[in-house]
Structure 1
Amino acid sequence: MKTSLLSATLLSIACFASTALRTDAAVTDDPFLWLEEIEGPDAVAWTRAENEKTLGVLQSDPRYGHFYGQALSILQAKDRIAYVSLKRRGLENFWQDENQVRGVWRRTTLESYRSKDPQWETILDVDALAVAENRNWIFHGSRCLPPEERLCLISLSDGGKDAATIREFDCDTKTFVAGGFYLPEGKQHVSWVDRDTLLVARDWGEGTLTQAGYPFVVKELKRAQPLSEAREIFRGEPSDVRASPFVLRDSDGNIHATGAIRAISSFESEYVVFRPDGPVKLNLPKKAAIVGLVRGRLLVRLDEDWRPPGDISFAAASLISYDLAEWQQDPLRAKASLVFQPGPRQALSGLGVTKNLLIMTILENVQSKAFAYKYDQGAWSATPISLPEHANISLSASSDGADQAMFAVSSYLRPTSLWYFDGESKSLEELKKTPSAFDASNHIVEQLEATSRDGTSIPYFLVRPKNARFDGTLPTLLYGYGGFQVSLLPSYLGPEGRLWLEQGNAYVVANLRGGGEFGPQWHQAAQGATKQTTWDDFIAVAEDLISRKITGPRRLGVIGGSQGGLLVGAAITQRPELFNAAIIKVPLFDMLRYTKLGAGASWIGEYGDPAIAEQRAWIEGYSPYQKLVAGKTYPVPLILTSTKDDRVHPAHGRKAAAKLAALGQPYFYYENIDGGHSAAANLREYARQLALEYTYASRRLCSE
């Protein structure tokens, strides 16, 4: 759950701290608990039968083969942008295509990258590794030791799970280090201290994982030391979400602090810094994050209003900084100063540091701009970066070894372009551009607003044919998320444009409360006790589309994944008459048991705890699984999930389908074996998923 990855959280915390009556979720009346056993023989047999039924119908539709071929062609296009990270050894990229199905980790130079056909040097061939070791390895990235970046910790997942195996890799010899660091499979967090020392949070044995299944014990591990002999340096609480190590380095690789981050809830953390005289808990607010170092300034992002003792106050969503030397001397008495405070309808959307610059992207009414901030002579100055207007600007890479950054510039109809920014010369260069995936000449984008139940204006983007007749007959897919302070920003609708828009249809993206489009307050307005606000906003956008006669209930479908799958589930159970299609991907659905499934307990800060009577009451008010009842007719949904999803348990989707079957309601269900929370482990599986989605949507919304 794209994951980040708040006012209601205060209520949630108060409930935890009080002696509130706790109650165990009633399960005796749930006939489908057996589907929670991921690899249970009966559950596996049920899944296979459901997959066969769904594939039998959708893959036999003549549109499926056409859609699959088009999607795969777009996803595997040789001339699509190879996004890179700016590393000391060159520009690094992870690439998948028809030949490199699992992918290849590779590097090139900036000069070569500028060319039409860059010359790539392979660092690690994951396909070859999977064959050699007879494992279904999925590459989950690397963490390399600064500043040389020769030794790296490689994360490899079996089938796409969040849990991964970590192995030490030598980028000079391009081999795994014999007798090097090795951490068996688990959900774990690792930081380099030096070439012979790691800080590790992982499963150390019985009693070292939180209810959510994440570690809360951090240990120091030395080279060649057995895991059993690692030295414990920090211990959180079993009731936490997780604990993880952190190492604060500057651009030259010098360490200025080591410590641990204790995630108390989904959105609240405590920082503990290890000092010679003992650990010190920083006096930052719980809704704050240390985000980097630049030019001797320590940067902290705030997600709540804060007034430090004897200091000026700072508003939520601000970025503040400390003098690093003063902070190191006494982190509890160092004085903070303001770097950036958003205005009305503004939000800080992206941040990165280079050797001397702070790079930020800022949203204003869901429109993007980029700035380079520099600290000099005791003050911050901001310089706009003149990227194309009327598009979403995201920071795709930054270098801490030089003043270099890259930006992806995108909109729904305009192919994404990649820009290189040289902060020293302040020059901009367009390096790459996504090939056109569909004919966008017949469509336009409009930003409209709907009025939610409480009178709040909810913006949304409508991508529609220029010649659309406003008679309520336009096939329309409405997409949303609305959770965890995640923003939905314009991005090129490549496969969706080819498979959906080119057929003369419309696509809508709603910017709901619960997201981060207008900062933490926008998120906090729909959290915990007020989570129903997200569902109200989504329903308001659907009603607005119908009242404007852009579409009608016969032609309107909804789509979302993870939290967005819960969103769709809430929409079709609360207002089923508004929709004729629902694509529900890797969803949360049984909210009365979500804390017992997968990593669900880590999201109590977003939804509340069903084991606490007061909080259970508000969750029960919308939990889609319980709201599926006899006597109602629901839009026939397509439910997609993955057996290897160890974040949102596949039982959510399984049980939703099984209950619909028991109610005599038609549905489609497909469970991919691999892929984890993305429900697709490679481009072929993703193309299949897209083909299934748009074949289903075309059958439901376009057929007469």
Structure 2
Amino acid sequence: MREIAPSLLDGILDPAALAWAAEWSDATEHAYAAPELRARIREALDTDDRIAYVSRRGEHLYNFWRDAAHPRGLWRRTTLNSYLGGSPEWDVLLDVDKLALDEDEDWVWKGATVRPLAYDRALVRLSRSGADAVAVREFDLATRNFIDVADGGFVIPEAKTDVSWVDLDTLLVGTDTGEGSLTDSGYPAQVQRWTRAGEREEVFRGERSDVAVGAGVDHTPGFERTIFSRALDFYNARVWVDGVELDLPTDCTPYLHREWLFVLPRTQFSGVGAGQLGVMKLADFLAGSREFRVLVDDATVENLSFTRNFLLVTTLKDVATHITRIELGAWEGRELLDGSSTAHVVATSPLDGDEAWISESSFTSPSTLLLADGQTVEPVRRAPAFFDAAGLETRQHWATSADGTRIPYFITGDFSRGPRPTLVHGYGGFEVSLTPSFSNVRGIGWLEKGHFFVQANLRGGGEFGPEWHSQVVKTNRHKVWEDHRAVLEDVAARGYAEPSQIGVRGGSNGGLLTAGALVQYPELFGAAVVQVPLTDMLRYHTLSAGASWMAEYGDPDDPVERAAIERWSPLHNVRSRSEVAYPPALVTTSTRDDRVHPAHARTFAQALDQAGQPVDYFENTAGGHAGAADNDQIARVESMVFNWLEVHLVH
């Protein structure tokens, strides 16, 4: 029994909490470490044969690359001709490993914003240990050096920062500048204009109750404009263009490209239905017109991407991906991918032309990188498989939830044999769609052993549009677990696995899902992996970024919503083993997770332990909300998780 005062577990870096976490984590890793599996996963993650994904900025294609020799990574670039030649000549801009060593900092790469059109400077984002908070530093692409404050450079201290280039000497910055500068969720509440001369002027402000305030600059020649936004909650926002607020419902998402205004409403608006895509000229909209042209009305819009002259629309039909390229103005479409594989647009560069990079894969086929330019779509790279997928296939089934809703799920494996260990992954929140994708880690750790893998498309996701999500928010949140339960029961009913052979796994909101499953219907599965979870749902809104999620889960300070939350909050529904026996659980988190507070995982693991339930705990000291900051940490955690599942579901 590992006991510590719950209040101490709230202290992210409290010495007593860290010692408690380290002792338990060491014991878990000692029991379930799998060195050979870890080495194989690391090899797959580090291989030079994997795809180097790129994005164009001017004449160059940029890439961030990690391998065994560079675990923190290299930011580098090449030319299109060199990239297409098969053996690119990479120009290394920044070696993050060397930077971390030189500065004695645990730097983790979080991206860079190259100055549009000029492509001479970049705003580099670096995180300590993988947290969401970043330090932003100006980088000179010609000299390959950071520009210090003393030399007139832009440097923004560590915070959850939003920043955009205005011109060489001006930024729009939302960051922590002291009292009143942040929302209750810990994100920027105001935007300042920063100049290289050191001037700082507030140019836009929201409310503390907002989730976040943001700003962006459109640098498209002939269509230059500044855009401000206030995220009122996770699904409602107000948007201003050059100081004029767009007269849109707050649950309608606008996209601006050149002279066009595109809208994706969550509820019907001016003839555009929920989840449909409408378009009209921005000037006509500002003049009072509301006559939108509907471009998509027969599928779920998953993503919009723009090139100079085309719109690429990614849609889902029964969780099958379609990508259509539509010519701007003519509105004639051509389907680039027809649903036979899962695909997403990796990168476009609307300021530089009509080039689009698309990645496609399936549960059993590694990723292929496609280059779409003009009217052609050609394969450019194919990723290797590090496990034998021969004999594996994927089926889609539909389970029936408690209220009669049909819930789809995919199951992948070799169907020539009878019941066997089956891992069920789910999420069910924030309009996040789970689509088929290839994973060497999953293949090495699970599928090649002859096991089944299930991916469940629960309500709360975005697979079938806004209503698929909105049906299960706040006081209806319990329906997510009804959907999950239905999938588990269907898997067993079809003979794929006995309940004792089923494992459930999820992270973040998916960790909430698996923690809730553990305390609600433990008889339906044999093991639960609960990663970077939310569990203390009566005070989640007071921890880290929790206040930003009340549109999803409800407000614990509202009596009606609190009553609903109390019925499913995992931490508050843990029962003793004398009442009901839970299957074993593995709870993991990261000390540096500044999005979902590690206290959620810590207190839940302790509650299970004190209730006499079987539980293992692992807390990575780095990694942020992802739970791991580099390939070695990924291999370390994943090998342990799969070995833990193997022990509890197979032996």
TM-score with structure 2 setting the length: 0.96
1:199-218 equivalent positions in 2, closer than 5 A: 199-218=172-191
Q: Give 1:359's match in structure 2, choosing from 312, 316, 334.
A: 312
Q: In 2, are the aligned partners of 1:321 and 1:339 still within 8 Å (CA)?
A: yes
Q: In 2, are the aligned partners of 1:263 and 1:270 still within 8 Å (CA)?
A: yes
Name the residue aligned to 1:266.
234
Q: In 2, are the aligned partners of 1:180 and 1:224 still within 8 Å (CA)?
A: no
Name the residue aligned to 1:198.
171
Name the residue aligned to 2:300.
347
Q: Residue 38 of structure 1 aligns to a residue in which SS? A: coil
1:51 aligns with 2:25: yes
Whole-angstrom CA distance in 2 between matches of 1:681 and 1:452: 37
1:125-524 equivalent positions in 2, closer than 5 A: 125-177=95-147, 178-225=151-198, 229-250=199-220, 252=221, 254=222, 256-274=224-242, 279-294=243-258, 296-307=259-270, 313-326=271-284, 331=286, 333-343=288-298, 346-376=299-329, 379-385=330-336, 387=337, 389-400=339-350, 401-423=352-374, 426-469=375-418, 473-524=419-470
Whole-angstrom CA distance in 1 between matches of 2:457 and 2:190: 37
Q: In 2, are the aligned partners of 1:406 and 1:420 still within 8 Å (CA)?
A: yes
Deviation (angstroms), 1:521: 1.1
Whole-angstrom CA distance in 1 between matches of 2:524 and 2:261: 50
Whole-angstrom CA distance in 2 between matches of 1:273 and 1:403: 25
Whole-angstrom CA distance in 2 between matches of 1:151 and 1:181: 11
1:60-71 equivalent positions in 2, closer than 5 A: 64-71=34-41
Letter in 1 for 2:288: R
Q: Give 1:620's match in structure 2, choosing from 549, 566, 569.
A: 566
Q: CA RMSD in A?
A: 1.5
Higher relative contact order (CA 8 A, sep 6+): 1
Return 625-634 or 317-326, whichever deviates more: 317-326
Whole-angstrom CA distance in 2 between matches of 1:291 and 1:122: 34
Q: Please list every run of 5 or more consecutive structure 1 residues that lacks an aligned counterpart in the other structure.
A: 1-29, 308-312
Deviant stretches of 4+, over 3 Å: 324-327
1:593 aligns with 2:593: no
Q: Deviations over 1:259-310 (max 9, x none)?
A: 3110101111001234xxxx4322111112233304x323232222113xxx
Whole-angstrom CA distance in 2 between matches of 1:282 and 1:371: 27
Whole-angstrom CA distance in 2 between matches of 1:521 and 1:249: 35
Q: Deviations over 1:550-583 (max 9, x none)?
A: 1111100000000000000111111001111111
Q: Residue 508 of structure 1 aligns to a residue in which SS? A: strand
1:644 aligns with 2:592: yes
Q: Please list every run of 5 or more consecutive structure 2 residues that lacks an aligned counterpart in the other structure.
A: none
Q: In 2, are the aligned partners of 1:557 and 1:701 still within 8 Å (CA)?
A: yes
Q: In 1, are the aligned partners of 2:523 and 2:582 still within 8 Å (CA)?
A: yes
Q: Give 2:608's match in structure 1, choosing from 655, 660, 664.
A: 660
Q: Residue 432 of structure 1 aligns to a residue in which SS? A: strand
Deviation (angstroms), 1:173: 1.5
Whole-angstrom CA distance in 1 between matches of 2:460 and 2:31: 36
Name the residue aligned to 1:15.
none
Q: Give 1:37's match in structure 2, choosing from 11, 20, 35.
A: 11
Q: In 2, are the aligned partners of 1:209 and 1:215 still within 8 Å (CA)?
A: yes
1:555-566 equivalent positions in 2, closer than 5 A: 555-566=501-512
Q: Deviations over 1:332-374 (max 9, x none)?
A: 624452242332xx21112211111111111111111111111
Whole-angstrom CA distance in 1 between matches of 2:158 and 2:197: 18
Letter in 1 for 2:368: S
Q: Residue 217 of structure 2 aligns to a residue in which SS? A: strand
Whole-angstrom CA distance in 2 between matches of 1:38 and 1:75: 30
- Pick closer, same or farther for the CA change 1:339–1:196 going to 2, 3 Å: farther
Q: Residue 70 of structure 2 aligns to a residue in which SS? A: coil
Q: In 2, are the aligned partners of 1:320 and 1:336 still within 8 Å (CA)?
A: no
Q: In 1, are the aligned partners of 2:430 and 2:552 still within 8 Å (CA)?
A: yes
Name the residue aligned to 1:690.
638
1:99 aligns with 2:50: no
Deviation (angstroms), 1:388: 6.7
Identity rate of aligned residues, in percent? Answer: 40
Q: Residue 221 of structure 1 aligns to a residue in which SS? A: strand
Q: In 2, are the aligned partners of 1:566 and 1:588 still within 8 Å (CA)?
A: yes
Deviation (angstroms), 1:161: 0.6
Deviation (angstroms), 1:322: 3.0
Name the residue aligned to 1:17.
none
- Pick closer, same or farther for the CA change 1:336–1:693 going to 2, 3 Å: farther
Letter in 2 for 1:293: H
Q: In 2, are the aligned partners of 1:181 and 1:224 still within 8 Å (CA)?
A: no
Whole-angstrom CA distance in 1 between matches of 2:371 and 2:268: 35
Q: In 1, are the aligned partners of 2:279 and 2:295 still within 8 Å (CA)?
A: no
Whole-angstrom CA distance in 2 between matches of 1:304 and 1:249: 31
Letter in 2 for 1:198: L
- Pick closer, same or farther for the CA change 1:221–1:659 going to 2, 3 Å: same
Q: Deviations over 1:585-610 (max 9, x none)?
A: 10011111101111000000110110
Whole-angstrom CA distance in 2 between matches of 1:146 and 1:301: 26
